[in-house]
Amino acid sequence: MGSIACPATIDITTPTTVPYWALLERELLRAQAVACEHFFDHYFDERGYLLCYPRWGGDDGPDDAAENLLNWPILHALGASDVVRDLYRQGWEGHLRQYTEAKTVEVPMARDGMYYKEFPVMFDWFHHGESYAVIVLQGLSEPDDRKLRERMQRYSGFYMGEDPQAPNWDPEHKIIRSMMNGSRGPMLRKATGLDWAGDPFEVEGRFRLGHGEHTYQQVVEHFKDYNDVVGDHPLNLGATSMAFCAYALTGMEKYRDWALEYIDAWAERSAANGGLIPTNIGLDGTIGGEVDGKWYGGVYGWGFSVIDPATGEVAHRPGFQSRCAYGFGNGLLLSGDMRYVDVWRTVIHKVRENAQEIDGQLQYPYSYGDEGWYNWQPHPFAHGAMEIYYWSMDPEDRKLIPAHEASATTGDEQPSYPNHWLDFLEGSRPDYAAEALAFDLERVRRKMELMRADTSTPDTRLSDDMNHMNPATTDALIQLMLGGLPTGRTGYPLHCRVRYFDPERRRAGLPEDVAALVERMTADETTLQLVNINQTEARTLIVQGGAYGEHQIESVTLDDQTVAVDARTFALTLAPGAGACLSLRMKRYANLPSLAFPWA
């Protein structure tokens, strides 16, 4: 075995009683890996093709197909079996082939294939992000994968002006020229319901649509007002994730430079708009330039409200709100500069400043249109509030997180509210770790029961029908093992306080039999409990500061003894049955991000 670039090695020899959370954590990693095998065998063929009726569109398109592998790369990077990685590879390669071969008849942009150069030909970054949420995290386990490097560089090139077939980037105005963009460039006309809905298909009696439509005509009506796509949109910040990964994989400065240039442009636009990020930038670089000067215009913009044909009621869909904070998070990872956190913090404060008392209750707006603020709700605007606090660790930002805010990534009734996790970190909810892990373990069983009860056939199954049965459920594991933000389906990198490597097996993730729990975090300190549940064999692991080595570990304290580290990583050896609670002094965001393994 080659040398490992860890300046400090700590031996932990004190035996410990194995805590319940540690057994649950190890079993959850094992059970999800086994369930992934069953899920893959049930819903994929030997080519890695998803056994469904493949379509183009915003309801059930390629992004939903890819989501059937959501969380598989991060599950492996946490320490699950290599089988998860191998099946993910098979499924991802199959996905790219399947949707390159799949073609539309009536939708113009996908008639030669829904994917071109292994990327969607033209769609929005709300959906691109959901498609590529899986591959964005693949590098955590496979930083030396040649195909991954080539893909991230190619995808970045679509947005950096490097591919003449994809003229998305305008370097003069620093804009991505349309909300609809991809490997065949930008859409520079108004979009139609057909563009979004996909080709006509049989609905009644054959498919159950996730948004409640009963006919194809209702699918088209769902998207009939999704027209204003020309010009830049803050959802396009998702493209910086491709450049982030390309930089973290290769170290080539051009990717970092472009991402920061584009993120800076959005920071400047927000400042010029009084602190509220605009949702349309014209082709001439002006705010609202393609929507009659309305800073709030555009599909998924501040003023985007439509009629839902399934219910006949108004549906408010300012979809950018749930994604854009992470664009500035990419700026933080790539620079270490907290000014990027200020941008979205200001948005939150500016929206809240417009609260009004309505019918005797303080109400907060979530939308802005021609008549001003609307879409009033009784809880404060809080999109991105958890992220702002996580990045800053400023007690004032902790106050931005309302008690009601539930996790947006779980998709069902899991009691993993962000405040529950924060309460745990702050010492007031000590049972949260065991409760959350036990719930996720029981959820594996429930998902497998649903899968076994599924009597659909591939020709009566849409690409999103299986999403809720995907057994890879990693929110609680990311929170508890890594001290991290759940990655969800947004298509952005992992933000976490620590992660682990197994130097014996030369792979990412905790070694077999080792369990980890981040118990406390402050701006400069992390309390980490590690346990070796194996009673006969020692285990060695490496602890890294941050997902990409962005945090410098200054020292580690164990039993009142402090070991100087001053590096991204340190190594530990856990004797059989041994465990310890470590205090890590850290300088966060001190290093530029890299996906290289510690022994690279």
Would you place residue 418 in the very low, low, confident or very high pLDDT band (cuts 50, 70, 90)? low
Q: Cα 36 vs. chain centroid, distance in angstroms?
A: 20
With cut-offs at 50, 70 and 90, classify the pLDDT of residue 417.
low
- Structure tokens that stand for 411 in this block: 């998709």
Domain chopping of the chain, boundaries: 1-18+497-600, 29-496
Class for the domain spanning 29-496 = mainly alpha
Planar angle of CA 47, 45, 70, nearest 5 degrees: 90
Give the pLDDT confidence of 315-358 residue by residue, as tens digits. 999 999 999 999 999 999 999 999 999 999 999 999 999 999 99
What integer best gives the mean pLDDT of the chain?
95
Side chain identity, residue 22: A
Give 112's pLDDT tier (boundaries 50, 70, 90): very high
Residue type, 398: R
Question: pLDDT for 157-206, tens place per residue?
Answer: 999 999 999 999 999 999 999 999 999 999 999 999 999 999 999 999 99
**Kind of pairing between the strands at 361-369 and 356-358:** antiparallel
Exposure b/e, 205-241, CB count within 10 A at least 16 = b = eebebebebeebebbbbbbbbbbbbbbbbbbbbbbbb
Helix axes 339-352, 324-335, angle to 10 degrees: 160
Whole-prediction pTM value?
0.96
Structure token pair of residue 242: 């491709």
CATH architecture group of domain 1-18+497-600: Sandwich (2.60)
pLDDT at position 557: 97
C-beta separation of 227 from 220 below 8 A: no
- Report the pLDDT value the prediction gives residue 6, as an integer from 0 to 100: 60
Distance, CA of 166 to CA of 183 (rounded, Å): 5
Q: 71 near 474, Cβ under 8 Å?
A: yes
